[in-house]
Copies of this chain bind each other. A is one copy, B any other.
Amino acid sequence: MIKTPFLLSVFVLSYLFPVHAQVTPLYNLVPYVNPFIGTQKMGHTFPGATVPFGSVQLSPDTDTIPMYDENGNYIRDVYAYCAGYQYDDPTIVGFSHTHFSGTGHSDLGDILLMPTVGELKLNPGTADKPASGYRSAYSKDNEAAEPNYYRVLLDDYQVLAELTTTTRVGMHRYTFPATNQAHLILDMVHGIYPYEGKNVWTFLRVENDTLVTGYRMTTGWARTRTVYFAMAFSKPFREYGFHQAKKEPYVGFWRRFDQTSNFPEAAARELRGHFNFEMQEGEKLLVKVAISSVSASGALQNMQTEAPHWDFDRVKKQGQDCWNDELNKVQVETLTEGEKVNFYTSIYHSFLGPTEYMDVDGRYKGLDQEIHQADGFINYTSFSLWDTYRALHPLFNILQPARNRDMIRSMLAHYGQSVHKMLPVWSHYANENWCMIGYHSVSVIADALAKGIGGFDPDQALEACVNTARNQYYDALPLYMELGFVPEDKSSNSASKTLEFAYNDWCIAQVAEALGRTDIYEEFMARSENFKNLFDHETGFMRPRLSDGAFVTDFDPLDTHGQGFIEGNAWNYGLYVPHNLEGLVSLKGGKEKFATFLDELFTMTLPDKYFEQTEDVTREGIIGNYVHGNEPSHHIPFLYYWTDEPWKTQERVRMIGPLMYHPAPDGLGGNDDFGQMSAWYIFNALGFYPVLPGSDQYVIGSPSVVSADVKLENGKVFSVRTVNQSEENVYIMKITLNGKPLDRHYIRHQEITDGGELVFYLGRRPLK
Q: Residue on B with the closest CB to A298?
A: B370
Contact A419 B265, beta carbon cutoff 8 Å: yes
**A205 close to B (CB within 8 Å):** yes
User: Which of A67-75, A196-204, A333-341, A723-731 forms part of the interface with chain B?
Assistant: A196-204
The answer, yes or no, to whether A434 is at the interface (CB within 8 Å) is yes
Kindly state whether residue A238 has any CB partner on chain B within 8 Å.
no
Q: Judging by beta carbons under 8 Å apart, are B264 and A419 in contact?
A: yes
A616 in contact (CB, < 8 A):
no
- A475 CA to B217 CA in the complex, in Å? 30
Contact A223 B369 (CB under 8 A): no
* Number of identical protomers: 2
Task: Render A362-389 as a binary contact track against B, CB cut-off 8 A, 1 for contact.
Answer: 0000001111000000000000000000
Provide the residues of chain B in CB contact with A434, threshold 8 Å.
252-254, 256-257
CB < 8 Å neighbour of A435 from B195, B220, B221, B253: B253
Q: Per-residue CB proximity of A187-221 to B under 8 Å, as 1/0?
A: 00000000111101101011100000001010111
Residue of B nearest to A435 (CB): B253
A224 to B269, CA, bound (A): 11
Q: Which residues of B have CB within 8 Å of A220?
A: 250, 252
Contacts A219-B248, A223-B252, A297-B370; A200 near B197 (Cβ below 8 A): no
- Determine which of B200, B207, B223, B371 lies in contact with A419 in the assembled complex, contact meaning CB atoms within 8 Å: B207
- A 257-281 contacts with B by CB, 8 A: 257-258, 262-265, 267, 269
Residues of B within 8 A of A426 (CB): 253
- Is A739 positioned at the interface, with any CB of B under 8 Å from its CB? no
A221: chain B residues at CB < 8 Å are: 250, 252
Cβ–Cβ < 8 Å partners of A369 in chain B: 203, 215, 295-296
Contacts of A371 in B (CB 8 A): 295, 371
Instruction: Give Cα A282–Cα B256 distance, bound, in whole angstroms.
Output: 55
- A652→B368 CA distance, assembly (Å): 60
Contacts of A262 in B (CB 8 A): 473
Is the beta-carbon distance between B219 and A420 smaller than 8 angstroms? no
Q: How far is the CA of A368 from the CA of B265 in the complex (A)?
A: 10
In the complex, whether A158 has a CB less than 8 A from a CB of chain B is no
Contact of A252 among B196, B203, B433 (CB under 8 A): B433
- A516 on the B face (CB < 8 A): no
Q: Which of A609-664 contact B (CB under 8 A)?
A: none
The distance in angstroms between the C-alpha atoms of A203 and B222, with both chains bound, is 13
Q: Is A5 interfacial (CB 8 A cutoff)?
A: no
From A214, which residue of chain B is reached at the shortest CB distance?
B369
A249 interface residue per 8 A CB criterion? yes
For A195, A368, A420, A426, the residue with the greatest tally of chain B CB atoms inside 10 Å of its CB is A368
Chain B residues contacting A265 (CB-CB under 8 Å) are: 419-420
CB distance from A611 to the nearest CB of B (A): 26
Residues in B neighbouring A435, C-beta threshold 8 A: 252-253
Q: How long is the Cα–Cα vector from A215 to B226 in the complex, in angstroms?
A: 15
How far, in angstroms, from A657 to B198 measured CA to CA in the complex? 55
Do B473 and A263 touch (CB < 8 A)?
Answer: yes
**B-chain residues with CB within 8 Å of residue A269 when the two chains form the complex:** 200
Which residues in B have their C-beta under 8 angstroms from that of A249?
195-197
**Contact between B205 and A368, CB atoms less than 8 A apart:** yes
- The answer to whether A224 and B201 touch (CB under 8 A), given A296-B369, A296-B370, is yes
Separation of A295 and B365 alpha carbons in the complex (Å): 11
Near B by CB (< 8 A), chain A positions 471-523 give 473, 475, 491
Question: Is B201 touching A200 in the complex (CB atoms < 8 A)?
Answer: yes
Nearest B residue (CB) for A220: B250
Closest B residue, CB atoms, query A196 = B249
Contact A254 B223 (CB under 8 A): yes
Contacts of A433 in B (CB 8 A): 252-253
Contacts of A206 in B (CB 8 A): 419
Q: Which residues of B contact A250 (CB under 8 A)?
A: 195, 197-198, 219-221
Cα(A435)–Cα(B253), bound, Å: 6
State the CA gap A458–B195 with chains docked (Å): 51
22 pairs of residues in contact across A and B, judged by CB atoms under 8 Å: A196-B249, A200-B200, A200-B269, A201-B219, A215-B369, A219-B248, A219-B267, A220-B252, A223-B252, A223-B267, A252-B433, A253-B433, A253-B434, A256-B475, A257-B434, A257-B475, A264-B419, A265-B419, A295-B370, A295-B371, A296-B369, A297-B370
